[in-house]
Amino acid sequence: MYLLFVLVGLAYGAFYVTFYVLEVPGAATERFGRRVPLPLLGRWQVERGTAAAKQAIAQGFVRETRVVPSNLLDAQRGELVRQVRYRSRATGKITRFESETRERWPRQYVA
C-alpha cells in the first residue's frame, strides 16, 4: 500500500511539472536555461576586433573565420568547429590556414 502512495505521488509530481513547464510562459527557459544564439554557420566572416585580426592586417592579410558543425550529432550537443584562414589583401588569394579548433557552444541561464 505504501508503494502505491509513492507511485501516485511521483506520477502527480511528473504531471504537475510537465504542465507547469508547458503552460507557464518563460518557466522552461528560467528552469532549464537557453542557448546563446549561434553564429552564421558555414559562412566566412572577416574578423576585425581581435588581436589576431589586427596582427594579420599589419602583415597585409585579412583574417576570416567560420563556425561549422563537424557532424549532426556534435551540432545537437553544441560542439562546433572553428576554422580560420588568411587572405592576402593585395591579391585576394587565400595564403594559409590555421588548424581547426573544437568549441563547445555554451548554455546561458536566465536569472
What is the reported pLDDT for 23? Answer: 83
Please check whether residues 4 and 29 belong to one and the same domain: yes
pLDDT in tens, 65-105: 998 887 766 666 778 889 999 999 999 899 999 999 988 87
Please check whether residues 99 and 47 belong to one and the same domain: yes
- Read out DSSP for the chain? -HHHHHHHHHHHHHHHHHHHHHHSTTHHHHHH-EEPPP--BT--EE--SSHHHHHHHHTTEEEEEEEE-SSHHHHHHTEEEEEEEEEETTT--EEEEPPPEEEEPPEEPP-
What is the reported pLDDT for 109? Answer: 59
pTM of the model: 0.61
pLDDT tier at 17 (50, 70, 90 boundaries)?
confident
Give the range of the structural domain holding residue 21, as residue numbers without chain letter: 1-34
Domain contains 9: yes
Please check whether residues 50 and 96 belong to one and the same domain: yes
Number of domains within the chain = 2
pLDDT tier at 35 (50, 70, 90 boundaries)?
low
The average confidence (pLDDT) of the chain is: 84
